[in-house]
Every structure is written in structure tokens, then in C-alpha cells.
Amino acid sequence: MGLLRADEVAHSIFDVDYPRLWASGKRAVIFDLDNTLGERRASKLNPEVRRLLDDLRSRGFRVGVLTNRRWRSVESLVSELGPEFPLVRMAHKPSRRGYATLLGRLEVSAVEAVMIGDRTLTDVFGANRCGIHSIRVSGFSA
């Protein structure tokens, strides 16, 4: 049961206390895509989201995206994000594999990372079983 419980909850990605996470030793933020970084099936980032991602980078965080979406539907987002924001698609969350791949690309260990997503059975469960601090958001709101 503990594996289905998020370590913390927040209304949206804009309500997470990132400075506190940094102070507690977290160095990477992994975002789910649909209903977390944007609307479901969004193919572009909202400008406020882009600003948040850039702000996190300037604070020193490594930032990545972990999505169960397939290649085609995320192609434009991959080029929009650029190589500094690695995106792993078809992650098959809650499988551990996608998390491991992304942690490797971000060059951090599981205990240094947080996962932010809207779904308990994929984002939260997957993060918890990898030992990644899990934060469940209610959904996307700009």
C-alpha cells in the first residue's frame, strides 16, 4: 500500500516548493507529460511551463520528462525541449526501466530525483518502487 502513496501532493507543477526540494538534496526533477506539464495530448509547451523549466535549470536542477506516449506524438516536444531537457517516451510506467534510463541521462541517483505526475498507478507507483521521491499533482493548470 505504501508504494501507492505519494510522498507529497500539490495542486499543479507551479505549486511545488522547488527550493525546499533543493535544500533537501534533490538535484533532478522528472515530469510526467500529459495533465502534468501540459494538457492531455498537448504538442506544444505553454510559455509559463517553459519559463518554469528554464528557472529550474538556472537553479541547478537537471530536468527531464518521462512519458508513456509514443514517438510520433512527442516529436515536436522533443525538438522544442532540446537536448538539455531529455525526454524518455514509451516509458511503460510504472515499469522501472524508463525511470532508470532517464536517471542515467540526467546523471543522478534515484534518491536525488523527484517525480512529478498526475497518476497514482503510473507516476507515483513507478517512482516509489524506484526509490524516487514522488509528488502527485491534481492536474495541469496554467
**Which residues lie near Mg ion (CB under 5 A)?**
32, 34-36, 118
- Using the minimum distance from each CB to Mg ion, give the nearer residue, 21 or 42: 42
CA angle at residue 132 from 26 to 10, to 5 degrees? 75
Count, in order, helices (H) and strands (E) of the chain.
5, 6
Residue nearest Mg ion by beta-carbon distance? 34
> Grid coordinates representing 123?
507516476
**What stretches of 27-112 adopt beta strand conformation (E)?**
28-31, 62-66, 87-88
Whichever of 39 and 80 has its CB closer to Mg ion, that residue is: 39
CB of 25 to Mg ion, least distance (A): 26
Q: Least separation, in Å, of the C-beta of 30 and Mg ion?
A: 12
Toward Mg ion, which CB reaches closer, 32 or 115? Answer: 32
